[in-house]
Amino acid sequence: METNNQTTVNTPEKKSGNKGFAIVFALLILIGGTYGVIKYLHAQQHEETDDAQVVSTISPVIPRVSGYIKDVRVKDNQQVRKGDTLVILDNRDFMVSLAQAEAGLASAKSNAHVAGAGIQVAQANIHTSEVNIGTVEAQIESAKVNLWRAEKDFERYGNLIKDHSITQQQYEEALANKQLAEKQLAILETQRQSADRQAKAISTQKAVSTGQVSVADATIKQREAEVESAQLSLSYTVITAAIDGQVGKVNLQPGQYLAAGQSLFSIVPLDEKWVIANFKETQLTRMELGQKVSITVDAYPDVALEGTVVSFSPATGAIQSLLPPDNASGNFVKVVQRIPVRIDFEEGHDPAFMAKLRTGMNVLVDVHL
């Protein structure tokens, strides 16, 4: 009798437990199904990836000349403006180089002045030679007239001496006058030849001086270029910020030697940021430029940001890596590739919040197809 009573009591409890389990199981199926349908419908109109980071243009600070550090004007994580002085190098060697270049320029200008004066002197000498040649030519013409007259007198006196119409002395004077006129003409012709040779020599000297002026002008241009180069090198001893932003870690000390082209630290702008999202190649089927994007930053999950798809990379990330894979060698294993996609933030976001974003932060992007 006791056994029958126990059976009668336990049966309702077992049915109640089965009913509760069925309700919970049904709720789980309903919730799971609803969640699955929601995710399916969402996937039909969205593409998501968490392989995305905040990116900005990082400006490296690189010295253009080698030298020893004289002063460091910035500290770690300091905000700077474009043109602010960051590092100063010891400029004494560069000042000496500039002084040498300026002295060379002054010497070149002096040489050009001397060469120019030589041209002026040669030109004056040429003018004098031309005057001398003209004078000698006039004297030659006069001497030719004198010689003609002396020859005629000598011929007449020769005829008269035969008739004893003149004395021997008169005949000898006519002969002497003729010989004197001949010698004077010969002397003048020699002087003319000498003047011609002198004029040619002066012309050659002028050509040489003109060439020296050309060389001096070229030397001046070269020295001016050297002065400009020395001035530039001297200006490069003051290293300034190329953009507005915030510097990273500054691991520099006064007295440290820097080589030209050595990367010192970087400046990261605070207002120019965008997102690079690496989508699987199978996710790009329906993605297009201009589509809206919801962006969630891991560091600030409660802040919703909006963006726009602006460009697709022309190549996969693997191909653009330092050592791209070569599928033609070894065994081939198909790997889904990822394509970098640039997403720009929409305007209108709080500037104070945008300034809090740091380059390299992880984000979740949701592209609205």
User: Over the stretch 209-261, which tens digit does the pLDDT of each residue have?
Assistant: 666 667 778 888 888 899 999 999 999 999 999 999 999 899 999 999 999 99
Is residue 108 a contact partner of residue 264, using CB atoms and an 8 Å limit?
no
Work out the pLDDT band at 3, boundaries 50, 70, 90.
very low
pTM higher than 0.95, yes or no? no
Q: CA triplet 235, 241, 243: central angle to 5 degrees?
A: 135
* 364 φ/ψ angles, rounded to the nearest 5 degrees: -110, 125
What's the confidence (pLDDT) of residue 13? Answer: 57
Work out the pLDDT band at 279, boundaries 50, 70, 90.
very high
Residues of the chain above pLDDT 70, percent: 83
Work out the pLDDT band at 206, boundaries 50, 70, 90.
low
Model confidence over 247-269: pLDDT tens digits?
989 999 999 999 999 999 999 98
What's the confidence (pLDDT) of residue 130? Answer: 64
What gap in Å lies between CA 68 and CA 88, rounded to an integer? 9
What gap in Å lies between CA 226 and CA 17, rounded to an integer? 98
Work out the pLDDT band at 18, boundaries 50, 70, 90.
confident
Residues facing residue 340 across a β-bridge: 278
- Averaged pLDDT for residues 279-289: 92
Model confidence over 329-352: pLDDT tens digits?
777 888 899 999 999 999 888 888
Q: What is the CATH number of domain 63-90+237-262?
A: 2.40.50.100
Q: Residue 98 half-sphere exposure, CB side, CA atoms within 13 Å?
A: 14
Fold match flag (47-58+267-368 vs 92-235): no
Work out the pLDDT band at 193, boundaries 50, 70, 90.
confident
What's the confidence (pLDDT) of residue 65? Answer: 94
What strands, in cross-sheet order, belong to the sheet with 245-247? 59-61, 265-268, 245-247, 79-80
Lowest mean pLDDT among 14-18, 111-115, 335-339, 349-353: 14-18
Q: What is the CATH number of domain 47-58+267-368?
A: 2.40.30.170
Work out the pLDDT band at 121, boundaries 50, 70, 90.
low
Model confidence over 33-88: pLDDT tens digits?
877 776 666 666 788 899 999 999 889 999 999 999 999 999 999 999 999 999 99
How high is the mean pLDDT of the chain? 82
What gap in Å lies between CA 150 and CA 176, rounded to an integer? 9
Helix (H) or strand (E) holding 61: strand 59-61
In the chain, the largest separation of any two C-alpha atoms, in whole Å, equals 211
What's the confidence (pLDDT) of residue 330? Answer: 74
Residue 357 in this model has a pLDDT that exceeds 80: yes
Collect contacts of 356-360 with beta carbons under 8 A, ≥24 apart.
356/300, 357/54, 357/273, 357/297, 358/54, 359/53, 359/54, 359/55, 359/56, 359/58, 359/268, 359/273, 360/53, 360/54, 360/55
User: What residues does each domain of the chain span?
Assistant: 47-58+267-368, 63-90+237-262, 92-235
Residue 164 in this model has a pLDDT that exceeds 50: yes
Name which residue leads in pLDDT, 203 or 341: 341
CB atoms within 10 A of CB 323: 6
Name which residue leads in pLDDT, 266 or 161: 266
Q: Class assignment of domain 92-235?
A: mainly alpha
Residues of the chain above pLDDT 90, percent: 40
